[in-house]
Structure 1
Amino acid sequence: MIWTTRPRSERSGLAAIEAGEGAQIVLLHGVGLRAEAWNRQIDALSKRYHVTAPDMPGHGDSAVRPNLTRVSDYADAVLGAFDGPALIVGHSMGAMIALDLAARAPERVRGVVALNAIFERSSTAAEAVQKRAAELDGVTVADPTGALDRWFEDQGSDEREACCDWLCTVAPDGYKAAYSAFAHDLGPRRDALAGLTCPALFMTGASEPNSTPAMSEAMAALTPKGRAIIVPDAAHMMPMTHPEVVNAALLDFAAEVLS
Structure 2
Amino acid sequence: MTCTIPRRSETRSGTAYVAEGTGEPLVLIHGVGLRLEAWAAQIEALAATHRVIALDMPGHGGSAPLDADARLPDFVAWLERTFDDLRLERANLAGHSMGALITGGMAATHPGRLDRVALLCGVHRRTPEAAAAVQARAATLRDGERDSSGPLSRWFGNAASPARTLVRDWLESVDPDGYATAYTAFATGDATYADAWPAIAQPALFLTGALDGNSTPEMARTMAAAALRGTAVVIEGHGHMVPMTAPDAVNAALRAWLAGEARPQ
TM bracket, shorter-chain basis: over 0.9
Native 8 Å contact 1:72 1:100 kept in 2: yes
Gapped regions of structure 2 (runs ≥ 5): none
Alignment of 1:210-229 (within 5 A): 210-229=214-233
Query: Using the alignment, how far apart are the partners of 1:2 and 1:22 within structure 2?
Result: 23
Query: Using the alignment, how far apart are the partners of 1:257 and 1:165 within structure 2?
Result: 39
Query: Using the alignment, how far apart are the partners of 1:55 and 1:34 within structure 2?
Result: 6
Native 8 Å contact 1:75 1:97 kept in 2: yes
Q: 1:87 pairs with 74, 86, 92, which one? A: 92
Structure 1 equivalent of residue 170 of structure 2: 166
Kindly report the root-mean-square deviation, in angstroms, between the aligned alpha carbons of the 2 structures.
Answer: 1.7
Structure 1 equivalent of residue 20 of structure 2: 19
Native 8 Å contact 2:59 2:179 kept in 1: yes
* 1:67 Cα deviation from its structure 2 partner: 4.9
Query: Using the alignment, how far apart are the partners of 1:245 and 1:68 within structure 2?
Result: 37
* 1:69 Cα deviation from its structure 2 partner: 2.0
* 1:187 Cα deviation from its structure 2 partner: 3.9
Aligned partner of residue 81 in structure 1, secondary structure: helix
Write out per-residue CA displacement over residues 132-173 of structure 1, whole angstroms, 9 at most, x where no aligned residue. Answer: 110114656x11010100000101100000000100111000
TM-score by length of 2: 0.93
Structure 1 equivalent of residue 204 of structure 2: 200
Q: Count how many residue pairs are aligned between Structure 1 and Structure 2.
A: 258
Q: Which amino acid aligns with 1:2?
A: T
Q: Which amino acid aligns with 1:89?
A: A
Query: Using the alignment, how far apart are the partners of 1:221 and 1:87 within structure 2?
Result: 21
Gapped regions of structure 1 (runs ≥ 5): none
Alignment of 1:6-45 (within 5 A): 6-11=6-11, 12-45=13-46
* 1:190 Cα deviation from its structure 2 partner: 4.3
Query: Using the alignment, how far apart are the partners of 1:3 and 1:136 within structure 2?
Result: 32
Native 8 Å contact 2:208 2:234 kept in 1: yes
* 1:189 Cα deviation from its structure 2 partner: 3.9
Q: Which amino acid aligns with 2:139?
A: A
Q: Does 1:61 align with 2:62?
A: yes
Residues 21 and 3 of structure 1: CA distance in aligned 2, closer, same or farther (over 3 Å): closer
Write out per-residue CA displacement over residues 3-45 of structure 1, whole angstroms, 9 at most, x where no aligned residue. Answer: 7654111124200011011110000000000000000000011
Aligned partner of residue 202 in structure 2, secondary structure: coil
TM-score by length of 1: 0.95
Identity %: 44
